[in-house]
């Protein structure tokens, strides 16, 4: 199947060739004043083979988005992928891949130690009924257990 090039980096990635779990540098953008935003593809599940269930993914997103900022002031955003296979992490002026892996590792260890999901209420969350702390912890453990493989993107 021939695919046309798009304006979205991840749409141009051949999802049949990647081997999750991994952490991949997905792009860099330099701003007008020299700041550089770096985006990482944090892939928990093999595309088109497995996905994270929404309540667990939702809780993991809340936990990671909150806890990752304890380990780096350069975090711009941590966002779940619509395909439910991973997250995007955007950082500013920080392109040290190994340090990003360490930040992720510490963040996921924080998830394992959590006893509640932050902002898991109707005031702070748009779908507060859709959370699963134990599911989030299970996803974090599964990803951490494969830490040695995070740098391997393609099979």
CATH code matching the domain that covers 9-149, chosen among 3.40.50.720, 3.40.50.300, 3.30.360.10, 3.30.1360.80: 3.30.1360.80
Give the pLDDT score at 2: 66
Sequence-ordered strand ranges (E) for 31-153: 36-43, 75-80, 86-92
* Contact residues for 121 (Cβ-Cβ < 8 A; gap 6+): 128
- Specify whether the backbone of 84 is left (phi greater than 0), alpha (psi in -120 to 50) or beta: left
Question: Which residues is 146 bridged to in the sheet?
Answer: none
pLDDT tens digit string along 66-99? 999 999 999 999 999 999 999 999 999 999 999 9
Neighbours of 26 (CB within 10 A): 16
What is the per-residue pLDDT for 155? 86
**Residue 87, phi-psi category: left (phi > 0), alpha (psi -120 to 50), beta (remainder):** beta
Report residue 114 CA to chain centroid gap: 18
Q: How confident is the model over 99-153, as pLDDT tens digits?
A: 999 999 999 999 999 999 999 999 999 999 999 999 999 999 999 999 999 999 9
- Is there a contact between 17 and 47 (Cβ–Cβ < 8 Å)? no
Structural domain boundaries in the chain: 9-149
Residue-wise pLDDT for 10-28, tens only, equals: 998 999 999 999 999 999 9
């Amino acid at each position: 199947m021939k695919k046309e090039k798009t304006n979205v980096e991840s749409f141009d990635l051949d999802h049949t060739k990647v081997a999750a779990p991994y952490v991949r540098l997905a792009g860099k953008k330099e701003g007008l004043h020299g700041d550089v935003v770096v985006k990482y593809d944090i892939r928990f599940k093999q595309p088109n083979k497995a996905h994270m269930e929404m309540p667990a993914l939702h809780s993991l997103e809340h936990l990671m988005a909150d806890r990752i900022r304890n380990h780096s002031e350069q975090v711009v955003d941590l966002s779940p992928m619509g395909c439910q296979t991973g997250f995007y992490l955007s950082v500013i002026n920080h392109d040290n891949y190994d340090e990003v892996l360490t930040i992720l590792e510490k963040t996921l260890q924080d998830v394992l130690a959590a006893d509640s999901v932050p902002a898991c209420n109707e005031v702070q969350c748009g779908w507060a009924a859709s959370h699963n702390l134990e599911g989030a912890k299970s996803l974090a453990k599964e990803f951490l257990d494969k830490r040695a493989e995070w740098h391997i993107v393609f099979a």
